[in-house]
Structure 1
Amino acid sequence: MKNKELLIYRIVTVLFSLLIMLGVSQYFFNYEMVKGMFEQLHFPSYLIYPMGVMKTLGVIAIWVKVPKTIKEWAYAGFAFNLLLGISAHLNVADGEYYGALIALILASISYFYYRKVNVAVA
């Protein structure tokens, strides 16, 4: 049973990580497009690079061996960020909240199985 849970955790976490890093790559390589999107959502554009760095560090924290608290905060940071993204898209009614919603679902499943796998190990 543990192997099945570990496999689910890894697959979902890979999908989540790829989705997040795809967005991060846009932050750094397609800055002007992202800046326009941030302005449309009423976010300041100076947040783009710090968010890109923090999301990258969050993905790294999920994958590498770090203290449990750091990993928990990484998941929490993604939850806050994705909920804010969904809320912002709903607020401007642009219909572009699906990516954040999918990422939030993947993050939730990843976290659920992270906890399940690590409780089984402890």
Structure 2
Amino acid sequence: MKKVVITYWVFTSLLSALMLFGAIPDIMSDPAAVAVFDHLGYPAYILPFIGVAKLLGVIALLVPGFPRVKEWAYAGFVIDLTGAMYSHIAVGDPSSGMVVFLIGYVLIAGSYIYHHKKKRMVSSADMTNHDSSKAMV
């Protein structure tokens, strides 16, 4: 169980850092982020909205409980990454820049998979404890 929990936190921490490092410049409408959005053809006023959404997604992953909110956070990260990747492809950006997206997808998949493994292990441990307590009665 310890290996699953450690692996989950490695993936989730790296994913959170990736999303946080993207969220902060978006929220602050950093000139570099505005330039990227301009290059992609998006209006700059969307930047803070996307940044806050990423920040809320990171909080949802890190706060214990709220399983449905976590599912939405994972979905939101996939949608954000896919939209960004598609936008870069659509404007003809070089494929060498797609490595960041691949890393993002790996981190999302790893965190998501190990989140569910951890959840299954906890629920099966609860069931085992529940069954053993019945035997004692």
Per the TM superposition, whether the score is higher than 0.5 is yes
TM-score by length of 1: 0.91
Name the CA distance, whole Å, in 2 between partners of 1:101 and 1:46: 27
1:107 is displaced (CA, Å) by: 0.8
Tell me how large the CA RMSD over aligned residues is: 1.4
The CA distance in 1 between the partners of 2:99 and 2:43, in whole Å, is: 22
For structure 2, the 5+ residue unaligned runs are 124-137
Aligned residues: 121
* Aligned residues with identical type, % of pairs: 33
Larger-Rg structure: 2
Structure 1: give runs of 5+ residues left out of the alignment: none
**Which of structure 1's runs of 4+ aligned residues deviate more than 3 A?**
none
CA distance in 1, matches of 2:65, 2:46: 26
Q: Aligned equivalents of 2:79 and 2:86: distance in 1?
A: 10
* Cα distance between partner residues in 1 of 2:80 and 2:7: 24
Native 8 Å contact 1:82 1:101 kept in 2: no
Please give the per-residue CA displacement for 1:29-53, whole angstroms capped at 9, x wherever unaligned. 5622111101111222111001111
The TM-score normalised by the length of structure 2 is 0.82
Correspondence list, 1:1-122, <5 A: 2-29=1-28, 31-95=30-94, 96-122=97-123
**Deviations for 1:61-111, whole angstroms, at most 9, x for unmatched residues?**
001023211110000000111011111111112133322321121011100
